[in-house]
Amino acid sequence: DAKTTQPPSMDCAEGRAANLPCNHSTISGNEYVYWYRQIHSQGPQYIIHGLKNNETNEMASLIITEDRKSSTLILPHATLRDTAVYYCIALDSWGKLQFGAGTQVVVTP
């Protein structure tokens, strides 16, 4: 599975959009980009996934560049409950999730 790189931390004001970048320059053609988050020692939570098209669900939007070497998770209106560690993971099917250090997002009032 391709390695992903994320900034260690970012702050976001409540009500504003949070844009979380992820680099995955070695991603292969059949690997999807998955995003999970972990709120303070709780179990990780699935957010969204994508291959090459932009995706949106009730939690977030995922923008993947045309060359698929990077992506951005967008939380459109961040709330205090979105404070968490966000993980970007490349995976081609079912199987183990390899969690990196992720991005610690702190949403401030």
Partner 1 sequence: EPEVTQTPSHQVTQMGQEVILRCVPISNHLYFYWYRQILGQKVEFLVSFYNNEISEKSEIFDDQFSVERPDGSNFTLKIRSTKLEDSAMYFCASSGDNFPYEQYFGPGTRLTVT
Binding site for partner 1 (CB under 8 A): 32, 34, 38, 41-46, 49, 93-101
Q: Are 41 and 25 in contact (CB under 8 A)?
A: no
- Which CB atom, from 94 or from 109, has the smaller least distance to partner 1? 94
**Between 41 and 53, whose beta carbon lies closer to partner 1?**
41
Smallest separation (angstroms) from partner 1 to the CB of 25: 21
Long-range contacts of 77-81 (CB under 8 A, 24+ apart): 77/15, 77/16, 77/17, 78/12, 78/13, 78/14, 78/15, 78/16, 78/17, 78/18, 78/105, 78/107, 79/14, 79/15, 79/107, 80/14, 80/107, 80/109, 81/39
Q: Which is nearer to partner 1, 25 or 45 (CB)?
A: 45
Cβ at position 65, least distance to partner 1 in Å: 20
Q: How far is the CB of 48 from partner 1 (least distance, A)?
A: 9
Q: How far is the CB of 94 from partner 1 (least distance, A)?
A: 4
**Toward partner 1, which CB reaches closer, 81 or 96?**
96
Both structure tokens of 82: 């979105």
